[in-house]
Amino acid sequence: MKTWRIFVISSIFITGYCQDVNLTFPEHLKLGVATASYQTEGAWNANDKGVNVWDFWTHKYPSLIADESNGDVACDTYNKYKEDVQIIKNLGFNFFRLSISWSRILPSGLANEISKDGIQYYKNFITELIANDIEPVVSLYHWDHPQVIEEMGGWTNELIVDWFADYARIIFTELGPYVKIFTTINEPQIFCSQGYGSVKTAPGKLLQDVGPYLCGHNVLKAHAKVYHMYDDEFRATQRGQIGMALSASSHYPLDADDNVSPDTAFQFECGWFMNPIFIGDYPEIMKTRIDMISERQGYSESRLPRFTPEWIAYIKGTADYFGLNHYSSKIVEPDPEEEFNVYNTDEGIIHTRNSTWSMSATSWLWVVPEGFGNVLRKIKNDYGDPTIFVLENGYSDEGELDDYHRIEYYYSYLKELLIAVNRDGCKVERYAVWSILDNFEWSEGYTKKFGIIGVDFDNPSRNRTYKLSAKWWEKVLHTRTLLEVPRSSAPNNYTWSFMITACCIMSVFNYFHIFR
């Protein structure tokens, strides 16, 4: 009888252990959706809006976009924002992350000419969100600065630090009373690398291997200046929060004994911008490697600019949260050609993928859910356990309405998020789906879809359609619980519970049978 009681108690314990401990979203974790101005708004020349770099790029070089499309109309959110707000409300999301189009606010790029229509559009949009109990989260810059500023050097011209601050002051003055969370700049490591070192992203300037670091240097200065300006002029009355959003992958070594490559890859991707903000100055590995390679290339000084001690102190601490965009992971290994003094990249890393990882419709997005938890824990450990806002996370396909794979992606990634929060204590306070709508996906045009709401881009009305993932999200949001993927061919929850229980009972039975 004693053995049987031990057997029952052990079965219950192991059954509980085998199943998820907690798939409930904690109260403090708000769930939202995200978009960006150029990708959704359209109305590229409405009223007095100025031309931005993506207007110019897509019009002049359509062949560099997969389907030769542009954002002239996009999702037409400019005219359909009320419909979109109702969709967000009906689904039950807590907040909506949108970005402001710099050229819609300042048609000439500079603060001497402010568009009343542009200001009013965003006021209308934001007040519509608030009226429907949806919190606005506003990005000041999501890749679409005015073309006239680009003609003056764009992010490689240090004057942009002041120009961006002038623009931000207008936004804080006009919209700050309604907005409590601002993101200064979105994913600078991507637009700096691809916009000033390749033709993949506007403005598409091939500025050798110097342009990206000039861009990054000015981005950090601009971010810090805006943060301090908010502190000095607006925080006392508006009581908002400000941070920067970085895209960060998880990196796995090809060789299990390689402890260097994953961290080097992380520092060149994320540490480039977050180290100066959270720790102070660029990562040592970046300075050491870029200095060494620059010397070998014959440069008189390092291609990575240096901050003065004053700038290091000014930039450090300029974040109220860590803004994270996460999609995927990578396999990394040292570049073997460096053994022969051939330096193909500054980081000296080759990026590949594990052949067992499944792939989305986008070539760079592999499904590796455990990488999400790893990134959250690395941020916690490396950056002093900051408050984390996940501002983008999503999956691409080619437009399926029964988008089971997207739901599978969200389920598996959110499970890792909940483990990191509920078990490991990562201070994630916000999570945003990318994206609420199918939209213009930069160089991919409209060939890849990230939305949980489909948009008919062939119809002038840009009709919206709920995908299966939107209906799944609606149930998740109303229950605040992570629900299984609703695939009819998959075992239901009761079946899974029975199978897990049976396995656990058999394990206990075998244990007593062997060791009795």
pLDDT tens digits along 305-316: 999 999 999 999
Point out which residues pair with 185 in neighbouring strands: 141
Surface-to-core class of residue 384, CB atoms within 10 Å of its CB (0-12 exposed, 13-18 middle, 19+ buried): exposed
Spatial distance between the Cα atoms of 452 and 34, rounded to a whole number of angstroms: 11
- Between CA 412 and CA 31, with CA 398 as vertex, the angle to 5 degrees is 40
- For the beta carbon of residue 225, count every other beta carbon within 10 angstroms: 19
Spatial distance between the Cα atoms of 359 and 354, rounded to a whole number of angstroms: 10
- Which residues of the chain are in CATH 3.20.20.80 domains? 24-481
3-state secondary structure of 241: strand
pLDDT tens digits along 423-468: 999 999 999 999 999 999 999 999 999 999 999 999 999 999 999 9
**Residue given tokens 């100066």 in the structure block:** 276
- Between CA 281 and CA 275, with CA 299 as vertex, the angle to 5 degrees is 15
Contacts of 481 (CB under 8 A, 6+ apart): 23, 24, 25
The model's confidence at residue 190, banded by pLDDT at 50, 70 and 90, is very high
Q: Which CATH architecture does the domain made up of 24-481 adopt? A: Alpha-Beta Barrel (3.20)
The model's confidence at residue 21, banded by pLDDT at 50, 70 and 90, is low
Q: Is 269 assigned a catalytic role?
A: no
Q: What are phi and psi of 140, to 5 degrees?
A: -75, -30
Q: Would the pLDDT of 8 be above 50?
A: no
Q: Is 339 assigned a catalytic role?
A: no
Q: What is the pLDDT of residue 501?
A: 40
Q: Catalytic pick from 269, 347, 392, 408?
A: 392
Q: Would the pLDDT of 166 be above 50?
A: yes
Between strands 358-359 and 329-334, the pairing is: unpaired
Q: What is the pTM of this model?
A: 0.91
Spatial distance between the Cα atoms of 242 and 367, rounded to a whole number of angstroms: 30
Mean pLDDT of 461-480: 98
pLDDT tens digits along 239-292: 999 999 999 999 999 999 999 999 999 999 999 999 999 999 999 999 999 999
Contact 273, 217 (CB under 8 A): no
Residue 397 carries which DSSP code?
B
Q: Catalytic pick from 41, 135, 150, 187?
A: 187
Distance of CA 274 to the CA centre of its chain: 14
Helix (H) or strand (E) segment spanning residue 99? strand 95-99
**Residue given tokens 């979109």 in the structure block:** 84
Contact 501, 15 (CB under 8 A): yes
